[in-house]
Structure 1
């Protein structure tokens, strides 16, 4: 079982990304996934998170993730809003971070993730979809960890967003996948 936590701000597509990620796993990776979004605070700019559990067999747990194996952060300023993105991590937890700034990555080192993957998902989104909504690009970044294939992400994005918006977001995901760096 793999436990994942997505963090971001309202308006960045955190909940949508969790749903698309689960669809990519379930429909194209021959695994099972459940997504549990944290609702109640979903206004633009407010901290938002969603929990995802992935397994080889049906997921019978319907719960938030308290000990994530992977943490994806769509907005690096989330830690300035008193959100502890390291809560419950363990010695093998991985961070996927939306930034290109090495100083920001170094700031996140204090959380002691085993590995940190990073890419400027917001700029990639601006270049590909014309809006700073990084959910598609950050799905590409998480594919860069090897958890699932970029092809599965692309198919799930197109299925979810439809042909026109889906193609643009899938292109953003592919670009992030190709540009993600590991520290």
Structure 2
């Protein structure tokens, strides 16, 4: 296990507020996507969800079957304490690569960029295993390089090649509604399981 995947590494970052990509709100491109979803009973997974702004927004919009997983125990504990009596979201402390289930929709929000790039093929393979037939992986990917990491960057061509083993992209395009600090550095994507 690389240090970028260890529970201790991420727990320490959350406890010290060192995840500088945390927006503090639901990401605008994902909010726009969520706002057009009609089926409130979709089974939705958000891996590596951190502070779970997207999950909370989904719950507020009436979605009923949301699963949040994160490897950092401190994050999950805070979320469980903050939302103790709701039934729409499960907050689960676990390693993404050990998680099993089948979902209609998986939302990607800064999880991919947090993983050591050597794990990217594993990420694609495991995402494919977690989706139902015709399931979708939807979210944001950085369209830029970073020094060091995490976060780790990438570009459109590398994503097309990486995901092609299991997914067809319906959309892979520069975001028009990113938050200002991420303007012109994010790709919005909808990838459908083959």
The bucket for the TM-score relative to the shorter chain is 0.3 to 0.5
Q: Is the helix fraction higher in 1 or 2?
A: 1
TM-score, normalization: structure 2?
0.39
**Larger relative contact order (CA 8 Å, sep ≥ 6):** 1
Give the TM-score normalised by the residue count of structure 1: 0.41
Bigger CA radius of gyration: 2
